[in-house]
Amino acid sequence: MEPGVILGRLLLAGVCSGVIGYERETAQKAAGLRTHTLVGVGAAIFSVASIIGFEGPDESRIAAQIVTGVGFLGAGAIFREGAIVSGLTTAAGLWVVASIGMASGSGSYWLAAIGTAVTIATLYGLAAADFAIARRKAKVRRRLEVHVSDVKKLEALFKFIRRIDPEAEQLDFKRTAEGEGILTVSCRSGDLSMMSELLASHRAVDHVEELSPLYWDQDTGNRPA
């Protein structure tokens, strides 16, 4: 393979991967322009090396390991903090730029170019759709059933709830035993996991349950009779 051809393939991999990395950089992700470019160029180098160094079925052996290797790299970009998981799109981006690098390194120039275009269209085009869906979810109210161990602390508990979600509403309350009760509150769908975890850790709360929509009236917000 001529050096000019190799250079062209590596440059194409670098440009295509860099375009995707730029989007991640502008989104202020840890894996940005340089990381994506290096992954794409590295995948292209491995692909070229497998073509030059081996003949026959062995040509695909090195390239096949790129998928596994990038899988481990992408796993390092995923973080979980409580119920919140972040980095999935960045991990998927690293996986895609590796495939684009492989396409460039193997000489499939149009595949690399089209793959880059589709990826960029997905990242930019679907961002608006994600935002619209997130706003719609935020408006949806969910119901939590809070089992209170000390009703004397009910007022303080509801102030605590309001600090988490200022729009939280008390929908129902009933006593179950001496000094105990069940409080039903509404909260934003996006705050459901955080609200559940924080309430469960409150000293006045025994446990928290999410009410299924089957168990409350969507017009009044209360359980059906």
Q: For every residue of the chain, which 3-state class applies, written as one string?
A: CCHHHHHHHHHHHHHHHHHHHHHHHHCCCCCCHHHHHHHHHHHHHHHHHHHHHCCHHHHHHHHHHHHHHHHHHHHCCCEEECCEEECHHHHHHHHHHHHHHHHHHCCCHHHHHHHHHHHHHHHHHHHHHHHHHHHHHHHCEEEEEEEECCHHHHHHHHHHHHHHCCCCEEEEEEEEECCEEEEEEEEEHHHHHHHHHHHHCCCCEEEEEEECHHHCCCCCCCCCC
Residues 68 and 10 in one domain: yes
What confidence category does residue 31 fall into, taking pLDDT thresholds of 50, 70 and 90? confident
Closest among 46, 45, 31 to 94, alpha carbons compared = 31
Distance, CA of 15 to CA of 112 (rounded, Å): 10
From 147, 107, 119, 138, select the one nearest 17 (Cα to Cα).
Answer: 119
Residues 116 and 180 in one domain: no
pLDDT single digits (tens) 135-173: 665 556 678 888 888 778 878 887 888 887 777 777 788
Q: What is the pLDDT of residue 213?
A: 57
* Residue 217 confidence (pLDDT): 47
- Is the domain of 66 the same as that of 153? no
Q: Which domain-ending residue is among 98, 115, 136?
A: 136
Displacement of CA 68 from its chain's centroid (Å): 21
Tell whether 169 and 92 lie within a shared domain: no
Report CA-CA distances (Å) from 4 to 11, 14, 113, 177: 10, 15, 19, 82
In terms of domains, do 68 and 102 share one? yes
- Is a pLDDT exceeding 50 seen at residue 190? yes
45 in a structural domain: yes
Higher pLDDT residue, 180 or 81? 180
Domain termination residue (choose one: 136, 159, 194): 136
Q: Is residue 42 domain-shared with residue 88, that is, in the same domain?
A: yes
Q: What are phi and psi of 80, to 5 degrees?
A: -130, 130
Residues 38 and 95 occupy one common structural domain: yes
- In this structure, the answer to whether residues 113 and 180 fall within a common structural domain is no
pTM to 2 decimals?
0.58
Whether 223 maps to a domain, the answer reads no
Residue 221 has pLDDT above 50, yes or no: no
Q: Which of 117, 136, 155 is the last residue of a domain?
A: 136
* Cα distance between residue 94 and residue 26, in whole Å: 16
Distance CA 78, CA 22 (A): 19
Any domain includes 109: yes
Domain holding 78, by residue range, is 3-136
- pLDDT for the residue 220: 42
Task: Note whether residue 221 is domain-resident.
Answer: no
Give yes or no: residues 163 and 109 share one domain.
no
Residue with tokens 């039903």: 184
Is residue 98 located within the same domain as residue 187? no
Question: Where residue 149 sits, what CATH number does that domain have?
Answer: 3.30.70.1150
Asked whether residue 224 is assigned to any structural domain, the reply reads: no
Q: How far apart are CA 168 and CA 199, in angstroms?
A: 13
Q: Do 159 and 202 reside in the same domain of the chain?
A: yes
203 pLDDT higher than 70: yes
Question: What is the rounded average pLDDT of the residues 30-58?
Answer: 83
Report residue 78: phi and psi, to 5°: -95, 130
| 222 and 171 Cβ atoms separated by less than 8 Å | yes
Query: 122 and 159, same structural domain?
Result: no
**According to the per-residue pLDDT averaged within each range, which of 22-26, 111-115, 186-190 is highest?**
111-115
Q: Tokens in use for 16? A: 């295509």
- Whether 19 is in a domain gets the answer yes
Q: Does any domain span residue 129?
A: yes
Integer Cα distance of 19 and 116 in angstroms: 8
Domain count, the chain: 2
**Of all residues in the chain, what percent carry a pLDDT higher than 70?**
80
Average model confidence (pLDDT) for the chain? 79
- Assigned domain for 220 exists: no
